[in-house]
Structure 1
């Protein structure tokens, strides 16, 4: 697959992924006490980190978006 995630998009996705993982796993907020929201946030955080690492977003591929220069 061709890369379709640019540098700024990649940094924002990594920050969002790390933030969601922190909230899901290490925060004591009552919002994340339920299993659905806790595991949902962890799953979305992992997907954001994987997309950031591989620079390939499947949703961007479906719709033909590209945020990188090449």
Structure 2
């Protein structure tokens, strides 16, 4: 997979993913499942690649200077 996530986008995805995952420990009952949504931004942030960005032809990754 090609990298299509830049530095700031990557850090924000990781932070949001961790915050959402923390909801598993804070919320009670069936609402805990909402915390599992945090897996998606955390995984895309750690891999520096977003499948949705690829489908849309987007990239926040800076261009390499030649």
**Does the pair score TM above 0.5?**
yes
1:37-56 correspondence runs (5 A): 37-42=31-36, 44-56=37-49
The normalised TM-score by structure 1 is 0.79
Deviation at residue 33 of structure 1 after TM alignment: 2.4
Q: CA RMSD in A?
A: 1.3
**Is 1:33 the counterpart of 2:33 in the alignment?**
no
1:51-62 correspondence runs (5 A): 51-62=44-55
Q: Spell out structure 1 runs of 4+ moving beyond 6 A.
A: none
The normalised TM-score by structure 2 is 0.83
Matched residue, 2:5: 5
Gaps of 5+ in 2: none
Gaps of 5+ in 1: none
- Equivalent in 49, 55, 65 of residue 58 of structure 2: 65
Q: How many aligned residue pairs are there?
A: 63
CA distance in 1, matches of 2:34, 2:55: 23
